[in-house]
């Protein structure tokens, strides 16, 4: 590789491996457990595994790590595949750890034959007790010195259903005094009567992650097995399994820091809780940090990949500002999302001196991009503006509409507020304005300097829609996430209005609502009423 771009530490390792001949190519894998939907943290791992393979003209497998049948589900398998592809990656192969259960069983027998594994009768609590602590060595299990013959017989009996769940386990015979607790005779097989989504009731015993993972990697010929930092202490066990099961060539494990985002929880366990307890509408609720939630919210795969690229890979854990992800989304949508005008909280304006039946004006679809063209916008005597763009008694620097003040309507006329109409409670219900008929684009007074420009919609042709505004799921602060849930993370505006050009939008289409933010069409839309999600607002709070 001659490219001069700075290398991350994974790439430096790969460069070294290719140079030394440890590897002749790059084959990585993304190994999700199908026990939930993927989240933005997984996106980092996906971008790293697939992205690194692509950089080295190698390949990346999608391997479902389905060794825990109790928590796994076909719904998750489908969603994971969809999310990986939506992010823009194509797996070389789609595989399942359960494809290798026979191979793993053979490897376990091999360890028994080598005197490197034994069947243990201690229960879970006793095993924990015997394991010792970080400061005290563990104690040998009374079963540790069983003969190879006896171990083999017992293990086969475990497979054949002679024992109850939890009655016996198979353990690797390594070192009960190892300073690394993972090396103190870890469990490698357990008895579990559970129907597996792929292998059905074939197996009553299942391999543990630390045994299954290196063997899956070896079986596929993975060259670089990239995982998160919490597995660093498991690496000696990974290497022990690979070596003693005679895996050749031997895969290697490398660890990087997980992504943590401010004001977001990431663990599937907690996300599942939000779904199960109905705090959100589902795994794809637009507030969720799941890939399917971000997709429904309107985030683009390009922006998520850009985000993953910018955060890079590091060897120490940290928390990334959620504002950076939004910054990436804003940057991408700024280039691609056509402009529309929508009024979220409408206030009626009657332009008293405007004569005739109305007219059709033009507005740019994408400023700075002429090719995107213009669209028709209707203008007539009655329009709506944003309620917050009017104040009856404004403070000094209020450049929006107020009695006796002028504003420009975007791509239309300059109007002046002449009078205010209120209901019996004193709430403003309507404004009476006049317009300067010469002030529209190209007119004699079009260049008149006016401080404020407002978005608006034409009353006759605008279409009612629902707008959903989102905020972070969690409030700022520390502590248990259930105490930090933001009860105002969803705000529904049921009577927004969008200009006519917004009505033929399809589910997933993204727009910039001028002066408001980026929005997309939610699948909850009906033929009679569109629902728009706030993707991100326009103001960039990210401070680099
Ligand atoms: P969770 O605790 O959210 O369920 P997990 O690590 O148990 O996460 P897996 O399905 O086992 O989820 O993860 C698949 C891959 O994605 C693993 O290699 C894992 O290390 C990686 N991964 C998971 N969460 C993150 C994260 N926050 N940042 C980076 N990588 C992650
Ligand atoms: Mg997991």
Q: Which of 30, 41, 79, 97 to mutate to test the pocket of ligand 1 (most atoms within 8 A of CB)?
A: 41
| Protein residue whose Cα sits closest to atom 10 of ligand 1 | 32
CA distance 189 to 171: 7
The pLDDT score that the predictor gives to residue 453 is 96
Closest CA to 20 of 223, 232, 229, 315: 223
* H-only helix segments in 337-442: none
β-bridge mates for residue 172, sequence order = 117
CA of 33 to the centre of ligand 2 (A): 6
The pLDDT score that the predictor gives to residue 358 is 92
The pLDDT score that the predictor gives to residue 389 is 98
CA of 104 to the centre of ligand 2 (A): 20
pLDDT tens for 20-58 read 999 999 999 999 999 999 999 999 999 999 999 999 999
The pLDDT score that the predictor gives to residue 2 is 46
CA of 41 to the centre of ligand 1 (A): 7
The pLDDT score that the predictor gives to residue 462 is 97
CA of 228 to the centre of ligand 1 (A): 7
Return the ligand 1 atom nearest residue 38 CA. Answer: 10
The pLDDT score that the predictor gives to residue 478 is 82
| Protein residue whose Cα sits closest to atom 18 of ligand 1 | 227
Cα R_g (the chain), whole angstroms = 31
**Sequence-distant (≥ 6) Cβ neighbours of residue 25 within 8 angstroms:** 56, 58, 223
The pLDDT score that the predictor gives to residue 477 is 84
Q: Which of 65, 73, 228, 235 to mutate to test the pocket of ligand 1 (most atoms within 8 A of CB)?
A: 228
CA of 528 to the centre of ligand 1 (A): 41
| Protein residue whose Cα sits closest to atom 29 of ligand 1 | 258
Q: Looking at the annotation, which residues are catalytic?
A: 33, 258, 268
Q: Which of 31, 40, 42 to mutate to test the pocket of ligand 1 (most atoms within 8 A of CB)?
A: 42
The pLDDT score that the predictor gives to residue 538 is 96
Ligand nearest to the CA of 260: 1
Residues of the chain by 3-state class (helix, strand, coil), percent to 5: 30, 25, 45
Q: Which of 38, 45, 308 to mutate to test the pocket of ligand 1 (most atoms within 8 A of CB)?
A: 45
| Protein residue whose Cα sits closest to atom 15 of ligand 1 | 32
The pLDDT score that the predictor gives to residue 503 is 83
CA of 36 to the centre of ligand 2 (A): 9
Q: Are 255 and 228 in contact (CB under 8 A)?
A: yes
Ligand nearest to the CA of 234: 1
Q: Are 499 and 291 in contact (CB under 8 A)?
A: no
Return the ligand 1 atom nearest residue 231 CA. Answer: 20
Return the ligand 1 atom nearest residue 35 CA. Answer: 10
pTM, rounded to two decimals: 0.95
Residues of the chain with pLDDT under 70: 1-5
Closest CA to 322 of 478, 540, 522: 540
- Domains of the chain with bracketed CATH: 9-256 (3.40.50.620), 265-336+463-498+505-544 (1.10.1160.10), 342-462 (2.40.240.10)
The pLDDT score that the predictor gives to residue 427 is 96
Q: Residues near ligand 1 with C-beta < 6 Å?
A: 31-33, 41-42, 44-45, 227-228, 258-259, 266-268
Torsion, Cα 502 508 506 331, to 10 degrees, reads 40
Q: How many CB atoms lie within 10 A of CB 507?
A: 13
Return the ligand 1 atom nearest residue 33 CA. Answer: 10
The pLDDT score that the predictor gives to residue 22 is 94
Return the ligand 1 atom nearest residue 226 CA. Answer: 18
Tokens of 525: 């839309």
Q: In what order do the strands lie in the sheet with 490-498?
A: 339-340, 510-513, 517-521, 530-537, 463-470, 490-498, 342-343
Three-state secondary structure call for residue 421: strand
CA of 312 to the centre of ligand 1 (A): 16
Ligand nearest to the CA of 30: 1
**Sequence-distant (≥ 6) Cβ neighbours of residue 319 within 8 angstroms:** 260, 261, 262
Return the ligand 1 atom nearest residue 258 CA. Answer: 28
The pLDDT score that the predictor gives to residue 541 is 79
């Amino acid at each position: 590789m001659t490219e001069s771009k700075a290398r991350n530490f994974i790439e430096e390792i790969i460069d070294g491996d290719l140079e030394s001949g440890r590897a002749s190519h790059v084959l990585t894998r993304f190994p999700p457990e199908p026990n939930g939907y993927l989240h933005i943290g997984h996106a980092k791992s996906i971008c790293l595994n697939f992205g690194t393979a692509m950089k080295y003209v190698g390949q990346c497998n999608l391997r479902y790590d389905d060794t825990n049948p109790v928590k796994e589900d076909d719904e998750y398998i489908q969603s994971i595949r969809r999310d990986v592809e939506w992010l823009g990656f194509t797996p070389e192969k789609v595989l399942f750890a359960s494809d290798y259960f026979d191979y793993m069983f053979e490897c376990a027998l091999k360890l028994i034959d080598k005197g490197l594994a034994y069947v243990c009768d201690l229960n879970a609590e006793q095993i924990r007790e015997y394991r010792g602590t970080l400061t005290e060595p563990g104690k040998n299990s009374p079963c540790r010195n069983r003969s190879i013959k006896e171990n083999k017989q017992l293990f086969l009996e475990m497979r054949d259903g002679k024992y109850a769940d939890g009655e016996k386990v198979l353990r690797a015979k390594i070192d009960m005094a190892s300073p690394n607790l993972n090396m103190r005779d870890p469990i490698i097989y357990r008895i579990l009567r559970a129907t597996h989504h792929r292998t059905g009731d074939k197996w009553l015993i299942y391999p543990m992650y630390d045994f299954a993972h290196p063997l899956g990697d070896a079986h596929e010929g993975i060259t670089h097995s990239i995982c998160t930092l919490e597995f660093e202490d498991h690496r000696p066990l990974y290497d022990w399994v690979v070596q003693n099961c005679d895996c050749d060539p031997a895969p290697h494990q490398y660890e990087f820091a997980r992504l943590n985002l401010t004001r977001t929880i990431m663990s599937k366990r907690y996300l599942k809780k939000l779904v199960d307890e109905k705090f959100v509408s589902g795994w794809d609720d637009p507030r969720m940090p799941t890939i399917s939630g971000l997709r429904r919210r309107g985030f683009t795969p390009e922006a998520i990949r850009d985000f993953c690229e910018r955060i890079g890979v590091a060897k120490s854990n940290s928390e990334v500002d959620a504002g950076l992800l939004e910054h990436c989304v804003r940057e991408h949508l700024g280039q691609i999302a056509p402009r529309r005008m929508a009024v979220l909280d409408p206030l009626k304006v009657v332009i008293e001196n405007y004569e005739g039946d109305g007219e059709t004006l033009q507005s740019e679809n994408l400023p700075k991009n002429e090719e995107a063209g213009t669209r028709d916008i209707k203008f007539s005597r009655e329009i709506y503006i944003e309620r917050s763009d009017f104040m009856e008694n404004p403070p000094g620097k209020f450049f929006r509409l107020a009695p006796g003040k002028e504003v420009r309507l975007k791509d239309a006329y300059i109007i002046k507020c002449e009078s205010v109409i209120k209901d019996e409670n004193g709430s403003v219900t309507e404004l009476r304005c006049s317009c300067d008929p010469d002030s529209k684009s190209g007119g004699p007074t079009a260049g008149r300097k006016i401080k404020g420009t407002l978005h608006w919609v034409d009353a006759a042709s605008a279409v009612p829609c629902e707008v959903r505004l989102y905020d972070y799921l969690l409030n700022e602060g520390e502590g248990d996430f259930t105490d930090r849930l933001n009860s105002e993370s969803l705000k529904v505006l049921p009577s927004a209005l969008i200009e006519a050009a917004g009505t033929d939008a399809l589910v997933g289409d993204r727009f910039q609502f001028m002066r408001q933010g980026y929005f997309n069409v939610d699948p909850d839309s009906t033929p009679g009423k569109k629902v728009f999600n706030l993707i991100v607002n326009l103001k960039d709070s990210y401070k680099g």
